[in-house]
Amino acid sequence: MAQQRGSQIEVLLGVESTFGTAPSSAYQMAINTYGVQSTRALNTAATLTGQRNPVAPFSGNRTVSGDIVVPVDSIAMARWLIAAFGSPATSGSGPYTHEFKVPDSQGSYTLEIANKDLTTARYLQHRGCKISSISIDIGGDGELTASLGILGATSSWETSSMDATPTDNTTLGRLNNFHASLTEGGSAISNVVTASFTIDMGLDDSQYVIGGSGTLGSIPEGIVSVGGSITMLMDDAAYAVIAKGDAETESSLALTLYGGTSSQMEIELQEILYSMNGPAYPGPQGIQVSLDFQGYYTDGSEASSIVFRLVNGVSSY
């Protein structure tokens, strides 16, 4: 009996033209971990039958959710950003800049995992999927990755792939923690130890319909939530940021990750407010301070609470 190995799985991402229906073409994606699962609880019935033995349980609604961890890069990650934000606005003549902003709606996708180690290959499809969140932590010397939250409608095991010859999207323009710069309030700062950015797309996971076999009939979009935190060395520059939090002064953040002049990712938040938080002094070592922030849109020139920009050699997506 053959056991499936994680090293041998293939993950495909296909754009759905109809919500919950697998397409016939897809992209093969590079991932670090795949944690999306389809679950359906067995609920306990409260029926009384004159004895202490329980009656048969009944099925609850199906949930399709989990996280996919992917390498942060300037090329392949465009497909995940398209899934979250839609097609980018592209400028330049090589290298090209692809700009992603908060959309009014999101497309749906089919995710497929090929289990080819089994005696008979099996393909697990998660359909009606949308990106529900994006989290990126910057700092340290580990591999730079992004965690993508997924919310889907349904799933099934298939005996054939939705696309036997998918488009290869596994070529990376990898980006690293130690090739980065950060501006705060429009000025470069060099005292930040770690930074995190989290986008919650505000998807509604309650739209179960009668006759839908316990699956979501739709996943409508709500208000996007943008936030994160920065941890800084406690110095004069950190004091200036703390003062902004105390005074509720609007500021901005922009992070750029470099892999070369033609391989970059920028994350820009034009309008943010910091929470009020002073440093703690736990002992004699160097002091750091962490500040949470929230992004929003009121009158920023980009008209978006967060903007992603990829710079690469791809002319269009």
Q: What is the pTM of this model?
A: 0.92
Summarised one tens digit per residue, pLDDT across range 244-294 is 999 999 999 999 999 878 899 999 999 999 998 888 888 889 899 999 999
Nearest to 246 by CA among 279, 283, 198, 210: 279
**Burial per residue of 235-270, b for 16 or more beta-carbon CB atoms within 10 angstroms, e otherwise:** eebbeebbebbeeeeebbbbbbbbbeeebbbbbbbb
Looking at residue 89, its pLDDT comes to 97
Summarised one tens digit per residue, pLDDT across range 56-95 is 999 888 889 999 999 999 999 999 999 999 999 999 998 9
Phi-psi region of 74 (alpha: psi -120 to 50; beta: other; left: phi over 0): alpha
Summarised one tens digit per residue, pLDDT across range 146-165 is 999 999 999 999 999 999 99
Joined together, the tokens standing for residue 157 give 């095991």
Cα→Cα distances 263→176, 197, 310, Å: 11, 20, 8
User: Looking at the predicted structure, is the pLDDT value of residue 1 above 70?
Assistant: no
Joined together, the tokens standing for residue 307 give 């903007």
User: Looking at the predicted structure, is the pLDDT value of residue 117 above 80?
Assistant: no
Cα separation of 87 and 98, whole Å?
9
**Residue 188 CB coordination number (10 Å):** 9
